Amino acid sequence: MEWLVERMAALGMRAERDAAGNAVGIIGDGERQVVLLGHIDTVPGVVPVRRENGALYGRGSVDAKGPLAAFVCAAARATIPDGWQVVVVGAVEEEWATSKGAHYAATRYRPQWCIIGEPSGWDRITLGYKGRLLAHYSLRQPGAHSAGQTPSAAEQAVAFWNRVAAICAEMSVGQERAFDQVTPGLRSINAVSDGLYETAKMVIGFRLPPGVSPHEVEARLAGLAAPAEVQFTGHETAFRAEKNTPVARAFLRAIRAEGGTPAFKVKTGTSDMNVVAPVWRCPIVAYGPGDSALDHTPDEHVPIEDFQKAVRVLTDVLNALPSDA
């Protein structure tokens, strides 16, 4: 974090670590803002940093220090029009359900444009992300002989998961695209016994399409886990931006100028777009180099040529900021 703040300052930005712990760099003095919101945290796991076959390997090269680095490079290279300021934010805790950095940024800025730093591929523009909900299941019960009729804690946890999967399938009938389905995922499951009591714990994640709120899913599951307890966290509503906006059109032009054939996409994950878009209500897209299929994998890498193209695209977008609001 400190290194990034120092690097942004060296590139001519007014740089600081804000109250949430975000790394922030600002260029320009205008009243109108474009916020480039990336995230600096990564999931656990060490991917050895190296250059190999024209690609940069390392944890976060795709998700999402690569897009954040492209933001910094582009902001430093761009000629920012009068009346504008570019705010680069390296947010903390995006990979956690808290999204602490984005929630803080949402209260601090009021941009006219926003670009979220997530891997889209250098010639693709992301318009939307699914919502999210996390269910934390816990069951503790007296132990019993395995030859008896009492279901074990582990068996009851599996039965609850099967009910959840069936409900999600029912809610997704007729929806062909993954983006439009209620998708459950078994994040973790564990069952132990100390000889007297059995304990089963499980975390289930839900990816939710537009039109399905986290509270709706929570209500559908209420009471189904008894006698277990279930706590719900990470409530995020799905968001999809319009494609005919000034920021989207700027990306279309810039990608074509770089020799690409641009296209829009939506993602089945969740990002900080879900946090800030409903608050800022401004033109917004997500963009960044890298293949999102490599997110969180031991093979995470980004082609260096793609990174360089993304920097040029972003620089063109910033150079083209309109002189009028």
**Annotated catalytic sites, by residue?**
41, 94
Q: How far apart are CA 92 and CA 98, in angstroms?
A: 9
Task: Burial-class residue 264 by CB neighbours within 10 Å (0-12, 13-18, 19+).
Answer: middle
User: DSSP letters of 66-134?
Assistant: HHHHHHHHHHHHS-PPTTEEEEEEEES-TTSTT-HHHHHHHHH---SEEEEE----TTEEEEEE-EEEE
Half-sphere exposure of 66 (CA within 13 A, CB side): 34
Token pair 């590139």 is found at 11
Interacting residues of 200 by C-beta distance below 8 A, sequence separation 6+: 137, 138, 139, 152, 153, 154, 156, 157, 189, 190, 191, 228
Token pair 């777009």 is found at 273
Q: CB atoms < 10 A from the CB of 300, how many? A: 24
